[in-house]
Amino acid sequence: MTPAPRAHRADARPAGERSQAARAGADPVRELMLRHHDLCAYAVDPLEIAAGLEARGVTDRDAARCRHRDVFSLAEELYARVPRALDEPKVPPSTAKMTIRQVLWHFLPGAVCLAGIAASHVAGSRWSAVTGGAALVAVAASARAAVRRGPLRAPRVPGTALVTCWLLAFALYGPAALDALPGLPRGGPGGLLDPVAASGFLARAGALLPAAWLAARFARRGRRRLADSHDLAEFGAGMRPAALGVLAAFALTLTALLTLAYAVADGRAAGADGGAHAVVALAGAALLGLLLFTAQLLAVHGHGRAALAGTGAACAAEAAVLVLAAVSRLPGLAAASAPLRLLARTGGPGAVQALACGAATLALAAFALAALARGGAHHAPTAYGPPAVPPRRPRSGHHPGRPHLSTAATSADRAAAR
């Protein structure tokens, strides 16, 4: 038997399905209602729908096809036409404070770091590489466990753990490796026996709890402003200073912890050059901590790949420096490391980390100020991201400022959404 033409087979669909497809094709707004029904039904405000549409790739050009001037105008119609869901929201209400268990988890990396520093001093310089490596692994594992249980939890991006461990390992052993460059005086002990490296390691581990508190506060502020703002431009204008403020607050907190840890370690270098080199190394330690916090904040708000690119660029720069240092030890190739030796003499071995992390932090912070001011970065629920207020119940009658639609139109839209 000859198969029926394609047009006849298409007409064999049920009448209700054909009518629904015809209505959706005739009304592009209704097609968006069907595609993003859950987003529209559980939204607490038109701006939340606009942020969700932006996160899913809907632009002003798509809104123009629906006869709207921008995405926010389209979101207002979707909010008015889609009935509000009467059951409980899909995401739990936000928590105002961290629990005692979460606070203890975020204290654990600092305690492990203190134990590692003590073990390094007991074991002496002969075993400094072993004790420092063991402390690095233990602190990284405890920090990862704390991050998974708190406001800094983020979707996993392959390669992030490897890049983070490289940055921390270079902070411990990179300066000692660069001290061996030809023509440079031999430096002090590396690893956790170095007062600058130990104080930087301890300050970053101790800053995990302030970082979690700042991230939770920033996420809650973004969700509240998302519900209160009238359009995406107003939301972005309010969130850019908030993003800058949270980065500045963490930088000040980390600097204070780093200064305190270095004062306790009594890391005094001999001579004026030694003091200047210590300042540069401390600046590099602070920039590394700020880089890791900025990357994690971006990952929490859905920009994990951008965060990995920023931290990976710092890793690549540090790896290139190590390769150049290794090549310079070969016979006849010592001149290849002349710029590196000049940098090490001027700012000390810690200048490499300061420059690599400083450039990566500056680029990543500039991206964060733009990315975290978009509504889409605050729409996806994080550990502390859901709205601080429950969804509003639907009201009978006309909502001020929203398009008025008849009861018959609302019933037809509800049927189409099913």
Is the Cβ–Cβ distance between 374 and 54 less than 8 Å? yes
Give yes or no: residues 144 and 75 share one domain: no
The pLDDT value recorded for residue 189 is 66
Q: Is residue 212 part of a domain?
A: yes
DSSP string, 351-397: HHHHHHHHHHHHHHHHHHHHHTTSGGGGTS--TT-S-SSPPPPP-SS
- Give 181's DSSP letter: S
241-279 residue pLDDT tens: 999 999 999 999 999 999 999 988 764 444 334 578 888
Q: What gap in Å lies between CA 371 and CA 234, rounded to an integer?
A: 15
The tens digit of pLDDT for each residue in 194-237 reads 888 999 999 999 999 999 999 999 988 887 887 676 667 777 88
Residue 77, pLDDT score: 79
Of residues 354, 199, 206, 176, the one with CA closest to residue 268: 199
**Which two three-digit tokens encode residue 337?**
């490391």
Number of domains in the chain: 2
Distant-in-sequence, close-in-space partners of 128: CB < 8 Å, separation ≥ 6? 120, 189, 190, 191, 192, 193
Annotate 28-93 with three-state secondary structure. Answer: HHHHHHHHCHHHHHHCCCHHHHHHHHHHCCCCHHHHHHCCCCCHHHHHHHHHHHCCCCCCCCCCCC
The yes-or-no verdict on residue 173 having pLDDT over 60 is yes
Residue that is written with structure tokens 């991206």 in the block: 367
pLDDT over 60 (residue 185): no
- 375 falls within a domain: no
- Residue 197 within a domain: yes
Residues 219 and 358 in one domain: yes
Query: Which domain range does residue 220 map to?
Result: 100-224+234-367
89-119 confidence digits (pLDDT tens) = 444 434 446 889 999 999 999 999 999 999 9
Three-class DSSP category at 5: coil
Question: What is d(CA 368, CA 81) in angstroms, rounded to the nearest whole number?
Answer: 34
- Residue 33, Cβ neighbours under 10 Å: how many? 22
- Residues 38 and 169 both lie in one domain: no
Both 126 and 186 in one domain: the answer is yes
**Is the same domain home to 243 and 331?**
yes
> By the 8 A CB rule, do 334 and 345 touch?
no
Rounded alpha-carbon distances, angstroms, from residue 162 to 76, 157, 159: 44, 11, 5
CB 187 within 8 A of CB 350: no
C-alpha span between 298 and 306 (Å, rounded): 8
pLDDT greater than 70 at residue 79 = yes
238 found inside a domain: yes
In a domain, 11, yes or no: no
Based on the fold, state whether residues 104 and 130 are members of the same structural domain.
yes
64-77: per-residue pLDDT in tens?
A: 888 888 888 888 77
Q: Is residue 3 part of a domain?
A: no
Q: What is the mean pLDDT of residues 306-322?
A: 93
Residue type, 271: G
In contact, 216 and 300? CB cutoff 8 Å? no
279 plus 137 within the same structural domain? yes
Which among 72, 87, 17, 35 has a CA at the least distance from the CA of 230?
A: 72
Of 72-76, 226-230, 362-366, 378-382, which has the strongest mean pLDDT? 362-366
Q: Are residues 165 and 192 in the same domain?
A: yes
Tokens linked to 316: 């690549």
Q: Mark whether 134 and 69 lie in a shared domain.
A: no
Residues 6+ apart with CB under 8 A from 176: 187, 189, 190, 191, 194, 349
d(CA 311, CA 417): 44
Tell me what percent of the residues of the chain surpass a pLDDT of 70: 73
Q: Could you count the other beta carbons within 10 Å of the beta carbon of residue 81?
A: 23
Q: Are residues 168 and 287 in the same domain?
A: yes
pLDDT at 269: 41
Three-class SS state of 332 = coil
Identify whether 118 is part of a domain: yes
Identify whether residues 76 and 120 lie together within a single domain. no
- Is pLDDT larger for residue 409 or for residue 371? 371
More confident residue, 394 or 27: 27
Tracing tokens 């660069």 back to the chain, one arrives at: 178
Number of other CB atoms surrounding residue 273 within 10 Å: 13
Q: Evaluate whether residue 95 is within a structural domain.
A: no
pLDDT score at 226: 72
Same domain, 85 and 108: no
